[in-house]
Chains A and B, each alone.
Chain A
């Protein structure tokens, strides 16, 4: 187990480095600059902005400056980097730099403000997803082929097929303007959460329901379940103790990246409900060519995906003892 975690940590650094390097080059290879606008800047003004953010440097120099082992900036100390108090700066010192678009904020500040919002919303959405998805998936599998199964499947299909802004629009019409129970948008207390988290969680609930049903059906035909049944265990015990655990494997595998996605928010839900989360930045930073912010959200996502996938692999051995942990790594 320790070895497993250590090896994963080592791989993690490699992954992170690869992601940073590839993204760094990719972002700057994309056409269009961070400072262009309908009203073009005077060339001297644009030049001055490029100098301020070191965009006038060659790419390798910008890269080393960003990662941080060396520092060529006016405030830096060549070769030792950092600001004189630390041996290095940049990423190595967890400094993500300033945002090009939101110039009153550093990337660190933006993430610090928006991540908790998205995480809170995502957590609630995840609860919705599990609370709705698991039971209906199990029910559909157990009552396979009945009308209930069909209805649940239909609901799940709708949950996936309806774009989330349509669901959001319908819910706002009903709960905000029809019944007057909830505020239309905004951020502050729990009432603000309910609709957006439901909208965010709905497709995930549908996914989970489908995967649970499929996984359970797969397992219900397997030998160990048959054996348990033959031994005369009551059906619900067979279901919970034997079948369900093994059938959750695809669900859990799916949940890893899904959780990373759900915790980092969604552009559409955040826009429609005016929620200052981090999901907006994934899209807007790319569209604004805000390289530091784009890199910041990329890093957050990388860390989350990696951590969750590691957890998932660990969980896989718990759910299915036949998978050894070392193999899972």
Chain B
């Protein structure tokens, strides 16, 4: 190597050191700091998409609720439907026909008028299988909608004519249901049924045939109709929203701007909250709950979600209902909730969580729980004695030891804690050797779906306040069943409830179905969730509710107390 080359090499190396430094300068210059928005909140990990029709998660729903608005809006506290794009509506006495009157002043964020046609387009898009909307089936309560969704592309147009959706004029939307659906009004405030802007969507599809999905929701291009509109988006960082001046009720929107942060780590959210950089976090580190519960700004309220274990009923010995019952009975739910979960989770002997209005919620048979420690201990002792007897009746004892069981759970500290407690309970009460198997999320789902497990940790979050949202997961043909359990009677009861017009009779049918489920126990109920919000004490219009939904339209800063 010549000296000249050596010198050149030296230059290259110097350059190599300089490149990262240049990158540093560049990145700093390009990413000029955004001033803090008027309100900042943490929304878990980055949302899958802003397209309201194609998302199913809670964090996506929260973003959609800020950007878009449906026919109705949920009351921030009671969740009762309030007028949204529709200023009023009528329901026919048979509960099958809904007529929505859209307000004339409803507009898109670009100033265009929002009409009933927009809803027809958006709901048709939701139903088309190409949209791949996870919640499309929610609209199958509309007459002809299911057939439309299942039709081949070439007969789509013909099928569409049979769907019970019509727009007699620009401001009237008539919906005919196939069966009375008690929660239909609640559905209209649910994000899959939000309208999307047809022109911008179709324009993106034309101009970017390969990546229109990432184009039409881009900041600057996304046209929405909600209280806020998108102005900036950084992946894995934040969504910056500002008040939408074209919103029909803009006078009622108090916040000028909103930052929605993508924060993966719960501890970081807490740090930011404590430092005053974030005003609301919806999850807190489990270990700090005892500490946090002493604070006035910590709100833990019952939440429409259940935590339970799925049982693979196709695998002996779990195919024996006595064994399943023995397992369900020997868990000390009260200690689990009080000492491990600590947020005030209610122990549960049902699939559905408490708090469903008018629903006679059944429980699996168990000794009645007393109020005090001694009564609790006695009830637990009785349950455990029954559990041991059940296991003996199933033929297990010193002569024939129970085979080892495996608890499958996905990566999370809480899931691991619960699994450890259950394993200890089962080992101490029934002498069953319990192994724990932790899998990362996707492998876990794969194992669960393909019934490659004994017992697996599960939960279900209700979409709307109705028992149906929980119970429909366990019908024989539901892809969410994942237990191998099937019961014609159960499916029949749910179908009958779907046809029932009378609200009380319908709920009674659902309760009968749940009682059957809890007799057969393809799931082991454990506890109900509570929400865990740390909210700035001066944030008004924010209320704890069973869906843990907080429409930002109503948020405002309260005056500082003097």
Contact = CB atoms under 8 A, between A and B. Distances in A.
Binding partners A and B: yes
Interface residues of A, number: 74
Contact of A186 (B1, B236, B272, B480): B272
A105 to B, nearest CB: 5
A267 B387 CA distance: 45
Interface stretch (B27-35, B350-358, B388-396): B27-35
Given A45-B136, A123-B20, A287 B277 contact: no
A188 B31 contact: yes
A15 B264 CA distance: 34
Nearest to B266: A271
Contact of B442 (A33, A42, A116, A259): A33
Nearest to B233: A104
B480 A120 contact: no
A98 B214 contact: yes
Given A45-B129, A98-B211, 8 more contacts: A40-B445, A98-B213, A106-B211, A120-B26, A176-B271, A274-B264, A317-B1, A325-B1
Residue from B23, B32, B133, B443 whose CB has the most chain A CB atoms within 10 Å: B23
Interface in B1-24: 1, 5-6, 8-10, 12-13, 16, 20-21, 23-24
Contact-residue bracket for chain B: 35 or more
Contacts of A274: 237, 261, 263-265, 268, 272
A287 B439 CA distance: 11
Residue from A32, A52, A177 whose CB has the most chain B CB atoms within 10 Å: A32
Interface string A114-135: 1011011011101000000000
Interface of B: 1, 5-6, 8-10, 12-13, 16, 20-21, 23-24, 26-28, 30-34, 45-46, 48-51, 54, 56-57, 129-134, 136-137, 149-150, 209-211, 213-214, 217-218, 233-237, 261-265, 267-268, 271-272, 274-275, 277, 440-443, 445-446, 449, 458-460, 479-480, 482
Interface in A218-260: 259
A75 interface: yes
B415 to A, nearest CB: 12
Residue from B6, B271, B445 whose CB has the most chain A CB atoms within 10 Å: B271
A37 B56 contact: yes
12 contacts: A31-B443, A40-B445, A102-B49, A105-B235, A114-B235, A116-B27, A120-B26, A189-B28, A271-B265, A274-B264, A276-B262, A308-B16
Contacts of A324: 1
B261 to A, nearest CB: 7
Given A38-B445, A40-B480, A42-B137, A119 B213 contact: no
B12 A314 contact: yes
B9 to A, nearest CB: 6
A134 to B, nearest CB: 13
B338 to A, nearest CB: 26
Given A172-B271, A184-B271, A314 B235 contact: no
A188 B31 CA distance: 6
B480 A39 contact: yes
A195 to B, nearest CB: 11
Contacts of A41: 132, 134, 479
A116 B23 contact: yes
Contacts of A31: 442-443, 446
Contact of A104 (B218, B261, B277, B460): B218
A315 interface: yes
A43 B149 CA distance: 12
A273 B268 contact: yes
A113 B264 CA distance: 18
Residue from A41, A98, A186, A314 whose CB has the most chain B CB atoms within 10 Å: A186
B24 A123 contact: yes
Given A288-B442, A314-B12, A42 B24 contact: no
B132 A52 contact: yes
A214 interface: no
A263 interface: yes
A120 B27 contact: yes
B275 A183 contact: yes
Nearest to B447: A31
A49 B132 contact: yes
Contact of A271 (B5, B132, B211, B264): B264
B211 to A, nearest CB: 6
Given A42-B479, A116-B26, A274-B263, A110 B235 contact: yes
A189 to B, nearest CB: 5
B234 A276 contact: yes
A120 B479 CA distance: 45
Given A274-B268, A311-B12, A120 B210 contact: no
Contacts of B214: 98, 103-106, 109
A274 B268 CA distance: 7
Q: 3 closest pairs, A vs B, by CB?
A: A32-B442, A123-B20, A188-B33
A50 to B, nearest CB: 9
Nearest to B34: A188
A192 B134 CA distance: 39
Contacts of B210: 73, 75, 83, 98
A272 B267 contact: yes
A189 B132 contact: no
A176 B275 contact: yes
A101 interface: yes
Contacts of A259: 20
Contacts of B233: 104
A36 B129 contact: no
B12 A185 contact: no
